[in-house]
Amino acid sequence: MLKRNFLTLIIAVGLFLSALNTNCAARTVYVVKAPPAPKVIVVKTPAPHINDAWVNGYWRWHGGRYVWVNGYWVKPRRGHIWIQGHWAKRPRGWIWVEGYWRRVR
């Protein structure tokens, strides 16, 4: 009985957190001011590991202004390529489109 109640509690918490995460992800922030041009960063150090890939830095909207987020090294996903995040112009303003790994066919 105790085991079943514990399992029910774990499932309920998981569903709650999943719903909370879905609601947060659905929120789109529109920024009226256009983002600055991306910074040109020359990466002089070698990758920490032989196949690591560099993800470029980007401007993030935070606290009513743009702040720069530095680039970083990642381990590539086998059979995927990195699609860089970018700012996109929409009728209501600018929105940030997150970068993601896309499968290579």
pLDDT digits (tens, 9 = 90+) for 31-80: 999 999 999 888 878 888 888 888 999 999 999 999 999 999 999 999 99
What separation in angstroms does the CA of 81 have from each of 51, 84, 85? 13, 10, 13
Question: Which of 5, 10, 7, 57 has its CA nearest to residue 36?
Answer: 57
For residue 98, pLDDT over 80 is answered with yes
Question: What are the tens digits of pLDDT across the range 6-29?
Answer: 545 455 545 454 444 444 456 889
For residue 87, pLDDT over 90 is answered with yes
Q: Is the pTM for the entire model greater than 0.75?
A: no
Sign for the pseudo-dihedral over CA of 80, 89, 35, 23: negative
d(CA 105, CA 101) in angstroms, rounded, equals 13
User: What pLDDT sits at residue 4?
Assistant: 60
Question: Domain residues of the chain, as ranges?
Answer: 31-103
3-state secondary structure of 99: coil
User: What pLDDT sits at residue 21?
Assistant: 45
The answer to whether 77 touches 101, Cβ cutoff 8 Å, is yes
Average pLDDT taken over every residue of the chain: 83
d(CA 34, CA 56) in angstroms, rounded, equals 19
- Close Cβ partners of 31 (under 8 Å, ≥ 6 residues apart): 61, 93, 94, 95
